[in-house]
Amino acid sequence: MNTVMLSAAPAMPRGRLIGAYLEEARSECLRYMRAPGFMLPIMLFPAMFYLLFGVLMAKSNGAEAARYLLASYGVFGVMSPGLFGFGVSLALERDGGLLTFKRALPMPPGAYLLGKMLMAMAAAGVVILLLLTMALTLGHVSLSLSQAAALLLTGMLGVLPFCALGMFVGTLIKGQGAPGMLQLIYLPMSFLSGLWFPLPMLPKFLQQIAPVWPSYHLDMLALAAVGMNKGPLLGHVLVLIGFAAVFLLMAARRLRRHG
């Protein structure tokens, strides 16, 4: 009987449907803006790394080193909103019952995830803009408008595979353990994919396994955006899409089973 009643329920008008998605996205933005202790490290951590290694220590190697590290530390920066913005918040909201409460609300089921995705993309965009400003003013990096726009777009879209990974981790562990677990993923992945140091500086066996990590493929796209990778890009795009799809499906399956 419940099934019949649900199937007979009138569909939400398109205007209200769009409004529900927009309202959820707005509430996510407000929630994170009111938590500077969470957002400031996400934005300032990669900026401090780039200032130290990409501007101050790279001066002796010229602007090309600063350009290279702009792409790499940009990827390092955009990973964080995806992993922590999704993983930690989802784990905490599951523990606190907020996710169960949202499921009971008359809202589209995808609005919750879409709101978090848009917030992660916005945070990634701010990170890239901050690094671009530092690169152009302090690092004396020469970039065309199209290259800067390509890097910004790469960062905002490139955060999505890490949203999927963070979402999956958030379904596995409790809220208190989520930050530590995600750090154990975030920092080693960044190092092993050549984001902190160029891959040729790493041991050969680490260079060979670098393509295992999604951050490596996003780094290749970011380097292409700033004109430092002329190789084919389709394979990197497909790997990132496949990675995002696999972890999103696994996370959705766990949420259906375990809440």
104 vs 16, higher pLDDT: 16
Determine if residue 133 is left, alpha or beta; phi over 0 gives left, psi from -120 to 50 gives alpha, anything else beta.
alpha
Q: Which amino acid is at 189?
A: M
Joined together, the tokens standing for residue 106 give: 């008359």
Instruction: For residue range 173-232, list pLDDT tens digits in order.
Output: 877 788 888 899 999 999 999 898 888 888 888 899 999 999 999 999 999 999 998 889
Contact residues for 60 (Cβ-Cβ < 8 A; gap 6+): none
**Cα–Cα dist 138/240, whole Å:** 32
Task: Tell me the per-residue pLDDT of 2-34, one tens digit each, with 9 for 90 and over.
Answer: 443 334 445 567 766 677 677 777 777 777 777
pLDDT of 41 over the 50 cut: yes
Is residue 8 exposed (0-12), middle (13-18) or buried (19+ Cβ within 10 Å)? exposed
- Reply yes or no on whether the pLDDT at 106 is more than 70: no
Domain residue limits, the chain:
17-258
Q: What value does the mean pLDDT of the chain take?
A: 83
Average pLDDT (115-121) is: 86
**CB-CB contact of 162 with 83 (8 Å):** yes
Return left, alpha or beta for 10; rule: phi > 0 is left, psi -120 to 50 is alpha, else beta: beta
